[in-house]
């Protein structure tokens, strides 16, 4: 069963998403607004807040080496198999 706070939180996030979509639809034919720098600044703030929350959580900080090794292994396997499948697909369609 969902807590009322969680439900309101999810509703707020959904409302923000829908509002952004509606504003985008309304303004899509107008001149583009240069939001690149604002978007970059918001991403930097989000990354900083993520780092802050990781740094302040002792349990997560202690598990970080184990999680980091798993993340590196998964990343290397994903890259390796992607390269293999692209090469195989290229041979199938005679691109490589």
Q: How many CB atoms lie within 10 A of CB 64?
A: 14
* Both tokens assigned to 35: 């939001």
pLDDT at 90: 86
pLDDT at 79: 97
* Both tokens assigned to 50: 């993520």
Residues 90 and 96: their CA atoms lie apart, in Å, by 5
pLDDT at 22: 93
pLDDT at 67: 83
Q: What is the largest CA-CA distance in the chain?
A: 57
Per-residue model confidence as pLDDT tens for the chain (96 residues) = 568 888 899 999 999 999 999 988 888 888 776 778 888 999 999 999 998 988 898 888 888 888 888 999 999 999 999 999 999 998 888 764
Indicate yes or no: pTM above 0.85: no
């Amino acid at each position: 069963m969902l807590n009322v706070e969680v439900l309101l939180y999810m509703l707020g996030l959904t409302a923000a998403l829908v509002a952004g979509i509606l504003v985008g639809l309304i303004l899509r034919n107008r001149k583009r607004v240069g939001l690149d720098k604002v978007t970059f600044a918001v991403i930097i703030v989000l990354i900083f807040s993520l780092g802050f929350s990781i740094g302040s959580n002792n349990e997560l900080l202690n598990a970080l080496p184990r999680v980091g090794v798993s993340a590196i292994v998964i990343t290397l396997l994903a890259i390796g198999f992607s390269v293999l499948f692209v090469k195989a697909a290229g041979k199938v369609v005679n691109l490589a």
